Every structure is written in structure tokens, then in C-alpha cells.
Amino acid sequence: AQRVTQPEKLLSVFKGAPVELKCNYSYSGSPELFWYVQYSRQRLQLLLRHISRESIKGFTADLNKGETSFHLKKPFAQEEDSAMYYCALSMNSGYSTLTFGKGTMLLVSP
Amino acid sequence: ETGVTQSPTHLIKTRGQQVTLRCSSQSGHNTVSWYQQALGQGPQFIFQYYREEENGRGNFPPRFSGLQFPNYSSELNVNALELDDSALYLCASSLGLDEAFFGQGTRLTVV
């Protein structure tokens, strides 16, 4: 069965520091990987997906099939990045059915 | 263009009762997925409806059932409520396999 692991419940950094949110997955097929973000009092929204290779709000994530990882990175954290981040996996070729990790709360202090 | 809306926002039910949660999909979307998010956990897939047919189901018992209507809105029904059913229930709509957009959720408390 597929599984997504986010080992850190909480990651606390200072503004301007680099950020790396870890995500590891297990799936025997060829998955699609996503990062979702939930800002305070807002709904869950897509941040980025691995196949688009985009950089959104300065965040990037590279799929490493050898290490089965999809870590989210940003070189310089901003206070407005404080939010809950979820890594998710899709088994079919699309977004609709997602397996989520437990999430990592990112707190960026001034 | 309206987003995904869910009702009610909060609900308290007694163990053993039945509950119906509602979701209006985003305009133009034909696929609705439901997720359960327990406290401190990520969302867990319950099932998906595509053009009024169930199109996939997660590891949830049959007392979790759903419907999708011709206008693509959807209901999630839970029978014989248990304390562990207390959670945030999320609805997400999409056009087929395109990006899913989430609603704000319904917080269900079972006492």
C-alpha cells in the first residue's frame, strides 16, 4: 500500500534561514507527488506538483526516486510562509485521489 | 466562478445517529472527492464520485456512503456514528483528473 511520511511535526526557523520540509513515500508504481499548504484559517490549497517543475512562492521540490523522497525547499524563509504543509501522493495520473502525510507545521519567526 | 462550499461548517451528533454532509462543487467540475481529517493527521481519502458514479473508495466501512447529483454537488452520509468519526470532513472538486480544489470543511463532533 502507498504511504507518505513527514518525519517532522514542527519546523521552527528564523526569517531568512533556509527551509527543508522532508517527505518520503512508499509506492510500488510510478507516483505523482504534490505539496499542499494550509495557511491559518484558509482552506487546503495546492502549492506545487513534481511534474510541473515550477517554483511557487520561492519553494521547489525535486522527486528523488532512488531515495523515494520529495523534500520541499526554500532558500530564504519569510514570515508569511508560516503554515501547515502536507506532502501527498497520487497513484493515478492526476490529482483526484490523494494519499497525504500527517503534515509539518512551519513556523517562521522574525 | 464560485469555489467549493461545504455545509454545515460545524455539527455535533450523538453516537449511533446518522449525519449528512453536503458539498457544492466548483463551477464546471464533474468530480468530487471526500476526505476525513482527524486531529493531528493528514486528510484520508474516503471516496470519489465522477459523473454521479462512485469512482474509487478508500479504507472506510460501508456505513460511509455518498451521492453525487446531476449538478455534480455531493453528499456524504455516515450511519451509526462512532466517537472516532469525530473529524474535519473535506470535499474537493475537480474536472476529471485535473487539480482538485478543497472546501473549507465540516467539523463533525460525535459525543
Calculate the average pLDDT of chain B: 94
- C-alpha neighbours within 13 Å on the C-beta side of residue A101: 29
Task: Answer yes or no: are the C-beta atoms of B82 and B19 closer than 8 Å.
Answer: no
Q: Kindly list the residues from chain A whose CB atom is less than 8 angstroms away from the CB atom of residue B45.
A: 97-99
A88:B98 CB<8 A: no
In angstroms, the separation between the Cα of residue A32 and the nearest Cα of chain B is 12
- Residues contacting B24, CB < 8 A, separation 6+: B2, B4, B5, B6, B73
* 3-state SS assignment for residue A92: coil
pLDDT band at A87 (very low <50, low <70, confident <90, very high): very high
Q: Kindly list the residues from chain B whose CB atom is less than 8 angstroms away from the CB atom of residue A4.
A: 42
Q: How far is the C-alpha of A67 from the C-alpha of A24, rounded, in Å? A: 8
Per-residue pLDDT of B80-102, as tens digits, reads 999 999 999 999 998 877 788 99
* Mean pLDDT (whole number) for B28-57: 93
- In whole angstroms, how far apart are CA B35 and each of A40, B10, B90? 19, 16, 5
A97:B43 CB<8 A: no
Who among B100, B103, B105 is closest to A96 (CB)? B100
Per-residue pLDDT of A14-26, as tens digits, reads 999 999 999 999 9
In angstroms, the separation between the Cα of residue A63 and the nearest Cα of chain B is 19
Residue A93 has pLDDT above 60, yes or no: no
> Can you give the pLDDT at residue A61?
93
Report the residue of chain A nearest B103, measured CA to CA: A43
Q: Kindly list the residues from chain B whose CB atom is less than 8 angstroms away from the CB atom of residue A46.
A: 99-100
* 3-state SS assignment for residue A33: strand
In angstroms, the separation between the Cα of residue A105 and the nearest Cα of chain B is 11
Measured CA angle at B88 (ends B86, B91), to 5 deg:
130
- Residues contacting A68, CB < 8 A, separation 6+: A24, A25, A26, A27
